[in-house]
Amino acid sequence: MRALVTGGGGFLGSAIARQLKAQGFEVISFSRHPHPHLKASGIPQFQGSLEDREPIIEATRGCDIIFNVAAKAGIWGSYESYHAANVTGTRNVLDACRVHGITRLVHTSSPSVVFDGTDMEGVDESVPIASHFVSHYPKTKAMAEQLVLDANSPTLATTALRPHLIWGPGDNHLVPRILEKGRKGQLKRIGSRPCKVDSVYIDNAAEAHVLAANRLQPGSPNAGKAYFISNGEPLPVWDLVNAILACDSQPPVKGSVPTWLAYGAGAFLEFVHGAFGITREPRMTRFVAKELSSAHWFDISASEKDFGYRPRISIEEGLARLKASLQSQG
């Protein structure tokens, strides 16, 4: 089997590529820039942007399956940049499937597509896509997910996975942000409620994608559906943050600010950055304020039922691996 992974040089994309290669897949990566670790693993690489149709059409020639992992993430940037990467890019991947007769597509989505700013505790995939978004990322990811699921047909089987807060050794997003802000003393609890959130260790998130692919075919139980993916161990959000800080021998977060103040500060900073064209990320946004002050954990039983996903690495074991990795890096 020949599999192409968009964003194959990224945190999740690399983990998926490793697991596919271990299972005997011929793996190809498509990303904006070359990655030395992929070259060292013997994985061919195509360079290009998903919003450009022709490069992805060429890269997918001869492929049997596509893992569409690439996306513009983060909490700040123009709507046009998010739409180009997440929506136009997904359309181009779907076009590539049609041009080459590729029959399977596993798309990486996000639980933020259903997040409406209120507590979501133990909800399953029946919860609808949110009707309002305060950030471009979840809005464009929701649009992309709908494109993928609508494309499911007797000739193209599609599925969308929604991993929540992926972390672990090699993380280039969540863990570094927490550790950097912790060192600078910029972390404050938002609100006073012990809101539980889901997260997922990197190897579990990657395995979920591979398991979903192995079961996916036109007419299979997981074709045309979206799935929440997590470790199945929801924790109060600041317990998780403090556990990650402890891996770097940093003290726990102690100070706090009211939720209303954090949300208001986020709205003000978004206005200022937008009005003056400031490209760097604001220290607070409305989306982050809501995420850090509300519960969001999910029922993952559908993924177990439809393609056998069971998180094998616990949060405790994942934290031990993360600590060892940070220590080895000094």
- The single residue of 137, 201, 227, 263 carrying the catalytic annotation is 137
- Measure the CA dihedral 57/19/150/229, to 10°: -150
**Are the C-beta atoms of residues 266 and 289 closer than 8 Å to each other?**
yes
Residue 135 has what DSSP assignment?
S
Q: Max CA-CA distance within the chain?
A: 55
**Are the C-beta atoms of residues 204 and 195 closer than 8 Å to each other?**
no
How far is it, in rounded angstroms, from Cα 285 to Cα 270?
6
How far is it, in rounded angstroms, from Cα 56 to Cα 53?
6
Q: Tell how far CA 107 is from the center of its chain.
A: 10
- Is 309 a residue of the active site? no
Question: Got the DSSP string for 48-89?
Answer: --TTSHHHHHHHTTT-SEEEE-----SS-S-HHHHHIIIIIH
Question: Got the DSSP string for 156-209?
Answer: -EEEEEEE-SEESTT-SSHHHHHHHHHHTT---EESSS--EE--EEHHHHHHHH
If one counts every other C-beta atom within 10 angstroms of the C-beta of residue 269, the result is: 18
Active site positions, annotated:
137
